[in-house]
Amino acid sequence: MSEEKKASEVGHVEQNLPEKLNRYFLLPGDPNRVNVMASQWDPGVEIYELARRERAAQGTYKGSPIGACATGMGGGSTEIYLTDLISRGADTFIRVGTTGTIQENVRIGDIIINDASIRLDGTSDLYVMKEFPAAADWRVTAALVEACEKLGFRYHVGTGCTCSSFYTGQCRTTIGGYRPSHLDGLFKDLQQAGVLNFEMEAATVMTLARLFGKRAGMCATVVAHRLTGEWLEDPEAEARACLAGAEALHILAEKDI
């Protein structure tokens, strides 16, 4: 099989996207969050309705090129969209969304910036050995910190845990009280290790980006506190991570000039 043929079979699964995209993309899981992001950018955003009710957008933020593409939930879906974006020229990604914390000092509404993630996502295991780290690009992490400082957002930087499951994978009890016995030990072990949070996409994004020579990072608004049982239902608070991500991409774009 020729290299041209091989290349044509990687990515480009989404026909509604332009063949050539800009470099800088936010990656929310929820397609509705693309609309929130677009509302924070400069006027003139172009929205793309994608397959499986996903959504993407391109425009500018403070004059810098920016895009957003919903990935769906979990590593398998994220792999598809990330691969497609890379094949169309994107090379800098920030996974943006919501998360649940397992640390006492983190508050509901805070921003968590994961500079690394434990790989329980499943998808990244099919690309590289388990010992390979899911690590954010240091430039993206630094830009996210700078963005939160500029915007006045309370934030935390540290390791997260990416899971392939919303319920038992994140140490939750499910239907009928079903709860495997090992979950109590896992939750305590992660807390003791200083892991900040659970979410479902960052490790896939970070691992694949590093393997393919691209830049990636992650920020999310804390909407669940697993120790207190608190849940946040505040669209404005959830939008903080979107704004922090846009500001970070603007910072990176200006430094890349």
Q: pTM for the whole thing?
A: 0.94
Q: Which segment of 175-179, 233-237, 240-244 scores lowest on mean pLDDT?
A: 233-237
In the chain, where are the structural domains located?
12-256
Residue 223: its H or E element: strand 215-225
- Residues 105-151 pLDDT 10s: 999 999 999 999 999 999 999 999 999 999 999 999 999 999 999 99
Confidence check: pLDDT of 16 > 90: no
Is 60 exceeded by the pLDDT of residue 7? no
Q: 51: how many CB neighbours lie within 10 A of its CB?
A: 10
Reported as a single tens digit per residue, the pLDDT across 35-65 is 999 999 999 999 999 988 899 999 999 999 9
What is the CATH class of 12-256?
alpha beta
CA distances from 142 to 18, 113, 136 (A): 30, 10, 10
| Mean of per-residue pLDDT scores for the chain | 94
Helix (H, G, I), strand (E, B) or coil at 194: coil
92-101 and 215-225 strand pairing: parallel
